[in-house]
Chains A and B, each alone.
Chain A
């Protein structure tokens, strides 16, 4: 059992395992570019859908249906199906109207559309994904949500060039990387069937490359948020530790209404930079969500 390797890290480990066995409710995020939370609630009430708000973020609604896609609010682009904890990194990045923002691994677009909404659909949002097959989903989701400030590109984020953008750096970057997806087991019980340590090690190389490039493309004083949906320190703190050594950046503290645990500074005999403790680990049993990892970096000169 893959998750056994985290027993030394997690208090109440049995509660953690039990939470991982429970399925997650269907959660939607209100797309504030097209509708207000009140409008969506009224529409759901009128159509007889039961729901409750997530305590920590009123734009997230837990719906009692497995088919939110067949509702009028979905057709109107008022809601987007999104696992609730995955709404965290865009909030931590906190993009402002008129910013230039880079979304390194954007497909299928839940975080992209959330970033566009936080930017009030102003400024320029470059949504990139290397996987051409997933781009159609990204484009279709962005268009259904009425996003008009978004540029979709399909490059390897590790070697992304600012050339087509007149070499102008970004104000902020979201680096929500491909990962071993351990934290999504409640949504997808087969998520760990393909798990291997070789795969974790291999993917962490890609994660380092993407985060390094994102830091390089962000202006001095700008913000980069790094996130994964996995518990593996090799893909989380070890990636941060590496980038702290190769790029000009530092980890900064941030607040979140979710219950979290700090990043770990030691794993399997390796020591990490103490500042990785400013990152946050989110475990399924603490908030009844999926698992997640999130860190906020400030880019230096």
Chain B
């Protein structure tokens, strides 16, 4: 096993049997995680490759480039791994969260405003604790907003500082 090279993008191996970098998950691990945690069908990611840059920062990419490659960014950041609980990013949830069927919490407008402002709030939720996909209802659908951490009756907003907004 070799170590992760922090400044370089490496494509995830297809399965753990193909893995040569210690601690790196495989594509199969990533697909299974989205499926188990959020009920997102692995087929949703058919057109995407997953890459690691930095320790545990995974990116989803729809294009085609040589592997490995040293660039600034590749597609969008999707997932933080190499910690006890894997954590999806706001961008990945906004892009792929429509497909989720589990651990999705839909907020009414005032709660959605509180969430996108980056504030924590007391909310009832009888599902799993941990990272949830937070959505709000729009005119004809629901739209994923980002990630919330649900613990002890509280929904903690995980919206990054630069993406927080006071909605007019």
Is chain B found bound to chain A in the same assembly? Answer: yes
Are A149 and B75 in contact, with the CB atoms below 8 A? yes
Interface size class of B (residues with CB under 8 A): 20 to 34
CA distance A77 to B145 in the complex (A): 10
Binary CB contact string for chain A from 244 to 282 against chain B (1 if under 8 A, 0 otherwise):
000000000000000000000000000000000000000
Would you give the shortest CB distance from A88 to chain B, in whole angstroms?
Answer: 25
Are B72 and A139 in contact, with the CB atoms below 8 A? yes
Chain A residues lying within 8 Å of B126, measured Cβ to Cβ, are none
Given contacts A72-B138, A143-B77, A144-B163, contact A150 B66 (CB under 8 A): no
Would you give the shortest CB distance from B5 to chain A, in whole angstroms?
Answer: 15
Would you give the shortest CB distance from A167 to chain B, in whole angstroms?
Answer: 10
Would you give the shortest CB distance from A215 to chain B, in whole angstroms?
Answer: 22
The residue in chain A whose Cβ has the minimal distance to the Cβ of B139 is A42
- The listed residue (B66, B140, B165) touching A164 by CB distance below 8 A is B66
Are A148 and B65 in contact, with the CB atoms below 8 A? no
Chain B residues lying within 8 Å of A147, measured Cβ to Cβ, are 75-76
Chain A residues lying within 8 Å of B33, measured Cβ to Cβ, are none
Given contacts A71-B167, A142-B76, contact A148 B139 (CB under 8 A): no
CA distance A153 to B77 in the complex (A): 15
Given contacts A39-B139, A146-B91, A151-B65, contact A135 B76 (CB under 8 A): no
Chain A residues lying within 8 Å of B73, measured Cβ to Cβ, are 139, 142, 150-152
Q: Does B116 contact A (CB under 8 A)?
A: yes
Given contacts A143-B91, A146-B94, contact A151 B165 (CB under 8 A): no
Are A150 and B116 in contact, with the CB atoms below 8 A? no
Residues 91 to 133 of chain A near chain B (Cβ within 8 Å):
121-125
Would you give the shortest CB distance from A159 to chain B, in whole angstroms?
Answer: 16
Q: Does A69 contact B (CB under 8 A)?
A: yes
CA distance A148 to B74 in the complex (A): 8
From B23-31, B34-42, B56-64, B148-156, give the one contacting chain A: B56-64
Are A140 and B162 in contact, with the CB atoms below 8 A? yes
Residues 60 to 86 of chain B near chain A (Cβ within 8 Å):
60-66, 69-77
Q: Does A75 contact B (CB under 8 A)?
A: yes
Are A143 and B76 in contact, with the CB atoms below 8 A? yes
Q: Does A87 contact B (CB under 8 A)?
A: no
Chain B residues lying within 8 Å of A5, measured Cβ to Cβ, are none
Would you give the shortest CB distance from A30 to chain B, in whole angstroms?
Answer: 15
* Selected A-B contacts with CB under 8 Å, 23 pairs: A42-B139, A42-B140, A46-B138, A47-B168, A70-B167, A71-B167, A71-B168, A72-B136, A75-B116, A76-B138, A76-B143, A77-B94, A123-B63, A123-B64, A144-B94, A147-B76, A148-B75, A148-B76, A149-B61, A149-B75, A151-B75, A164-B66, A164-B71
Given contacts A39-B138, A135-B72, A152-B72, 13 further A-B contacts (CB under 8 A): A42-B139, A43-B139, A70-B168, A74-B165, A122-B62, A140-B162, A143-B91, A146-B95, A148-B95, A149-B61, A164-B69, A164-B71, A165-B65
Which residues does B use to contact A, with CB under 8 Å? 47-48, 60-66, 69-77, 91, 94-95, 116, 136, 138-140, 143, 145, 162-163, 165-168
